[in-house]
Structure 1
């Protein structure tokens, strides 16, 4: 009976972890460029001696949903939407390089180009980008940032630098605890994207399907309740067996 209880317990634990992923997705349904986290369970055969039917439920997180989110035209110069499988390099809170698809950019009071989360945008050589005071700014399709200096005419437009935009598949990056993406293999160098990598004046929305996530949440809740019922029933059967043994003794 204890083995049956353990199998039900692993299933309940996997359902709880999957619910956490779904709740995280729902919380980011309005986050620009967010990619929904995926989660499912797999059967895991318990090694060692015993019946061949001894399997447990093992939670698996295969990564994120790579499908693009909806495109929202904003007309704002500092809003950019990246092409498929392309990521904007930023500086994380710990100083490491991370990646995001949230193209809602801004310029701080000291001229730092940052994301909506306050993370500095990196240039081609990995340094935070600084934009001098300007009366207009333009972001090209290849990630180049150009400005017209204050008090100058449009003929004086000059390039400040180029944002680091890399190409990475779902297997090459994974979400960290701070919500930013990082390389699964820190030793591998992600290639700089070539050609047109982004569209200015457009933002990519979250690719979370809110209605589908709510349905999934209900299904996981029912699975959890069923597994808890199995645990409770197994415990009641064990208590009944103990009572019969005491009466028989």
Structure 2
């Protein structure tokens, strides 16, 4: 395989990666708190041929991973007074199933059987200091959440939901289960916290944009395939002519 085929192959692999990311974005257009992703690539320069050649190097495409778009999604009313949307930067800290601390923007909340405030998936939501928020039996169904994150019932304040913010969003990585992993965050103060109750944050995916991206990717892939076929025809013609010459 000559170098032109390697270049085209790296390009097609990059296109496939872009298509996978765009398809995943579209699949999560209705997922609360989902952040659309963009693939990241880097150039790999390979030394080829004679150093004295006019083109001594060749650029290839390598997959570097993906980064998420931190832009907020729209507010989606749910009718549940304890569902919340973070109005601004930050994440809800929760206890992940593997025992680690994870983060989410999906604010579907409920009270577990043991009286702990949890997400829809049953993950305990962190209050101030990383502690869970306990709800007395008499307050179940009578809760409200203030803009500063304070959870109140008939007996008064029960705790405050802590919103964790990160200085560098590039360090916040999706786990693939609707949660994010990150380090170096800090809990926002009551004055900084802005929660909107009665609904959740929708996905920030724009279906028309992602569909357009997919069409452009498919067209680019078709162009690359045509170039591959043209190179194959050119090689075949060259071999035929060399055979006749011999």
Q: 1:123 to 1:145 in 2, by over 3 A?
A: same
Question: Secondary structure of the equivalent of 2:222?
Answer: helix
Length, aligned pairs only: 236
Show the 5 A alignment for 1:19-30: 19-30=19-30
**Matched residue, 1:165:** 163
Superposed CA deviations along residues 2-57 of structure 1, whole A, max 9, x for unmatched, are 11111111111111111111111111111112111112545x25233442561123
TM-score by length of 1: 0.84
- C-alpha deviation, 1:60, in angstroms: 4.5
Question: Secondary structure of the equivalent of 1:177?
Answer: coil
Q: 1:129 to 1:236 in 2, by over 3 A?
A: farther
Which of 124, 131, 139 aligns to 2:145? It is: 139
**Matched residue, 2:188:** 193
CA distance in 2, matches of 1:220, 1:210: 15
Superposed CA deviations along residues 157-186 of structure 1, whole A, max 9, x for unmatched, are 233322231112422312123331111xx4
Moved beyond 4 Å, runs of 4+: none
Point out where structure 1 has 5 or more consecutive residues left out of the alignment.
Answer: 149-156
Partners of 2:116 and 2:135 within 8 A in 1:
yes
CA distance in 2, matches of 1:94, 1:245: 64
Partners of 2:125 and 2:161 within 8 A in 1:
yes
Partners of 2:46 and 2:59 within 8 A in 1:
no
Partners of 1:5 and 1:230 within 8 A in 2:
no
CA distance in 2, matches of 1:97, 1:210: 31
Partners of 1:91 and 1:128 within 8 A in 2:
no
Show the 5 A alignment for 1:41-190: 41-42=41-42, 44-50=43-49, 51-52=55-56, 54-61=58-65, 63-133=67-137, 134-135=139-140, 136-148=142-154, 157-168=155-166, 169-183=168-182, 186=183, 188=184, 190=185
Superposed CA deviations along residues 110-160 of structure 1, whole A, max 9, x for unmatched, are 323222333321222334444231241122222222222xxxxxxxx2333
**Matched residue, 1:10:** 10
CA distance in 2, matches of 1:138, 1:160: 10
Point out where structure 2 has 5 or more consecutive residues left out of the alignment.
Answer: 50-54
Q: 1:240 to 1:111 in 2, by over 3 A?
A: farther
Q: 1:26 to 1:66 in 2, by over 3 A?
A: same
Question: Secondary structure of the equivalent of 1:47?
Answer: strand
- C-alpha deviation, 1:203, in angstroms: 1.9
**Higher mean C-alpha displacement, 55-64 vs 138-147:** 55-64
